[in-house]
Amino acid sequence: MPKTRQLLDSVTIRPGMAATGEIVKGQSLRIVDVDGGQIGDFVALSRDDRTEHLDCTYTNWANLGWRWKQGATIFTNHMNRMWVISDDPTGVHFTGGGFCSNDARRLFLDPNDETKGCRDCLEEAFEERNIERHWLRAASCFNLFMNIEYLPDGSWDSRPPISKAGDYIELRAEMDIVWALSVCVIPFEINKSDPTPLRVDTYGSSSAG
Ligand SMILES: [Zn+2]
């Protein structure tokens, strides 16, 4: 019997904005790069324990590498299973953690820059859910579609995303989760030139149909 599942929710996030939502175990998030070439900062907390978050560092340990493959498990800081990467056609994301921010923009771009960065937008999104800003941890940031290579000489090579219009990554929840996603507007090659939206589709559990 073919498997069917229901689209429960769909939210499109404009550049320079963030959105947040909840998902329960067994449901899936599909994050779609609507026009291609766009990076997003994705974070997640246990719905029932603010101290437990998606942790890139511990997931790298668990997967013995930083380029997570389709089928890999994403772990929390308490080494619990949080997500499974159930579908990932591009396979190119960055797992070193961290966000752009207004602080970073002032350092790298203009000391008088007042544009919000991803961290600022994610903190505001969390506050809408009465989650205090300090629960946003740099180690929890999974940088979707961000294309960075670790070179043998120890440096990073920042490259444009390879994602094309409609490319996506799909994550199946292994626990009940609060997630947030920002659409980055940092004006470097790493984000191509024109910021474009991302869309988050939430699907129910698969069932025989
Ligand atoms: Zn950003």
103-116 per-position pLDDT tens digit:
999 999 999 999 99
- Expressed in angstroms and rounded, the spacing between residue 202 Cα and the centre of ligand 1 is 23
Instruction: Tell me how far CA of residue 12 lies from CA of 83, 144, 159, in angstroms.
Output: 21, 15, 25
3 pLDDT more than 80? no
Q: Where are the alpha helices (DSSP H) in the chain?
A: 56-63, 102-108, 118-128
For the segment 130-151, the average pLDDT, to the nearest whole number, is: 95
Q: Identify the pLDDT of residue 190.
A: 82
- Expressed in angstroms and rounded, the spacing between residue 40 Cα and the centre of ligand 1 is 7
Decide if 90 contacts 163 (C-beta within 8 A).
yes
Q: Identify the pLDDT of residue 194.
A: 87
If pLDDT is split at 50, 70 and 90, which confidence band does 209 have? very low
The pair of three-digit structure tokens given for residue 90, joined into one six-digit string: 């591009």
Residue type, 154: G
Q: Could you give the CA distance from residue 79 to residue 59 in angstroms, rounded to a whole number?
A: 8
- Expressed in angstroms and rounded, the spacing between residue 91 Cα and the centre of ligand 1 is 20
If pLDDT is split at 50, 70 and 90, which confidence band does 201 have? very high
pTM over 0.85: yes
Q: Could you give the CA distance from residue 18 to residue 30 in angstroms, rounded to a whole number?
A: 16
The share of the chain scoring above pLDDT 70, in percent, equals 97
Q: Identify the pLDDT of residue 54.
A: 98
The pair of three-digit structure tokens given for residue 39, joined into one six-digit string: 């990076």
If pLDDT is split at 50, 70 and 90, which confidence band does 157 have? very high
Q: Identify the pLDDT of residue 1.
A: 57
Q: Could you give the CA distance from residue 125 to residue 119 in angstroms, rounded to a whole number?
A: 10
| Ion ligand 1: residue ranges with CB closer than 5 A | 100, 118, 184, 186
Q: Identify the pLDDT of residue 84.
A: 98
